[in-house]
Amino acid sequence: MACELVVRFENYAAQSKLDEDLVWHGIDVDFAKALLDEAGCCYRFVSIPWGRALKLLEEGEIDLILSVTKTPLREQYAYFIGPQRMETIVFAMNAHAPYQLDSLESLFHLSKPIAIQRNAYYGEAFTQRLKQRKDNETQFIFVPDNQVKLNLLKKGRIA
């Protein structure tokens, strides 16, 4: 039985890159192709911002997203296979303006804002602290994808 699945990628680094000919390449692309070819599925790749992609997955408008952290909320609408890979999420700062960080709490008291990807998961401790932030703690900018974060960092607009 044939199927056609819509697979979300982000044009970012070695994971998934869209070339000039509009062909996808990268580690995640190779992984998805191998999985879907083995299953005998037809597929179409789309580029959708992270937060919107999660919503579309929940609504059944797209079928597959790679590199998703399993959380209780996401388990309510998504089936997880994997792990795809093990990774550690880190905060990157501009090398020309390093900040001294000695705790999670330090992130909430920087002089410049921090960009975080909309609906991304940065771990339970960060999630809980973010929920408890006060009205005057406005140092987080929510962005749609990793490329926006990198552009803001290169321009010195974020910590």
| 157 Cβ contact list (under 8 Å, min separation 6) | 112, 113
Higher pLDDT pick, 90 / 79? 79
What is the average pLDDT across 97-125? 88
Instruction: Say if residue 1's pLDDT is above 70.
Output: no
Residues 57 and 15 in one domain: yes
Instruction: Report the distance separating Cα 135 and Cα 99, nearest Å.
Output: 23
Span of 5-19, 42-56, 83-97 with lowest mean pLDDT: 83-97
Tokens coding 146 = 């990793």
Residue 69 domain-assigned (yes or no): yes
Tokens coding 150 = 């990198």
What is the average pLDDT across 70-74? 93
Residue 53 domain-assigned (yes or no): yes
Q: Which of 78, 74, 81, 80 lies closest to 62 in space, CA to CA?
A: 78
Total tally of structural domains belonging to the chain? 2
What is the average pLDDT across 38-49? 93
CA gyration radius, the chain = 18
Residue 141 domain-assigned (yes or no): yes
What is the average pLDDT across 98-125? 89
Residue 86 domain-assigned (yes or no): no
Token pair 């008291």 is found at: 109
pLDDT confidence band for 136 (50 / 70 / 90): low
Residue 83 domain-assigned (yes or no): no
Residues 129 and 71 in one domain: no
For the entire predicted model, the pTM comes to: 0.74
Domain span holding position 56: 4-75
Say which CATH number the domain at 42 has: 3.40.190.10
Residues 16 and 58 in one domain: yes
pLDDT confidence band for 100 (50 / 70 / 90): confident
Residues 10 and 71 in one domain: yes
Q: Give the β-pairing of 64-65 and 17-18.
A: unpaired
